[in-house]
Amino acid sequence: MTICRIPQTVSALLFDMDNTLYTNQEYVRFQLESPVRRLAEIKNTTFAEMQREIAEYRKTWAASNPQSGAPQAGAHGKAQAQVSLGNIFLALGIPIEETVRWREELYEPAQYLKRDPKLRDTLTALAASFSLAVVTNNPVLVARKTLAALGVEDLFGVLVGLDTCGVSKPHKAPFLKAAELLGAPPETCVSIGDRYDIDIALPLELGMGGILVDGVEDVYSLCSVQGALLNS
Ligand SMILES: [Mg+2]
């Protein structure tokens, strides 16, 4: 876990979902690959060729977008600037609304995820002091199913998904929408997620706090920094 910034007063925690509230490489791989298979079908090409095109786009994008100062954190090494899959698909001619529909059709979180009592205990403890929201690049429907599969759906007052604002993180709209719906001034929110460029860099620019995690194991440890969040 890398604590990038904790504001003076904290009233709300904005959680990324995938790779943050659960860690499941198989499901994450499925989420990355299944829309690419559909895109390949539409473009009448192979999955391998589509993967190659996307890798090429990521490389070009990273070269033309300066690094956002991501810390060299964790096992995954996050030094390179990242672009969301939704924005890659948009660049390849697939509107965000179409990406939302594909994901709603393709993703069934309950096939991969199960109830996580340790996550529930952690979030229950945090919810005693802070308002909790999920801000995800998945559609709200998928977020709802994911949280239900993990057994924590009732602990989040607000879910902001790809279809809430029609834009993909890192756009400021989803973060500000979550703060607004929670009734929390942005400068009292802390964004928690596994990708610096997607989940942390922009919230820091908005005056929010940021905590970079390497998966749900780090989220379990958030109670150990709860004192810092309360007494900041
Ligand atoms: Mg994530």
CB 188 within 8 A of CB 9: yes
Map out the domains of the chain with their CATH numbers: 2-24+113-231 (3.40.50.1000), 26-110 (no CATH)
pTM of the model as a whole: 0.90
Query: What pLDDT does residue 75 have?
Result: 42
DSSP bridge pairs for 12: 131, 189
Cα 225 to ligand 1 centre (Å): 20
Residue by residue, DSSP assigns 64-103 as HS--------TTT---S----HHHHHHHTT--HHHHHHHH
How many residues can be counted in the chain?
Answer: 232
Cα 73 to ligand 1 centre (Å): 15
Query: What pLDDT does residue 175 have?
Result: 98
- Region 80-107: mean pLDDT is 91
Q: What is the pLDDT of residues 183-212, one digit of tens each?
A: 999 999 999 999 999 999 999 999 999 999
DSSP reduced 3-state for 22: strand
Cα 199 to ligand 1 centre (Å): 8
Cα 228 to ligand 1 centre (Å): 24
Q: What are phi and psi of 210, to 5 degrees?
A: -150, 135
From residue 181, alpha-carbon distances to 11, 16, 32, 132, 203 in Å are: 13, 16, 29, 11, 16
Cα 75 to ligand 1 centre (Å): 14
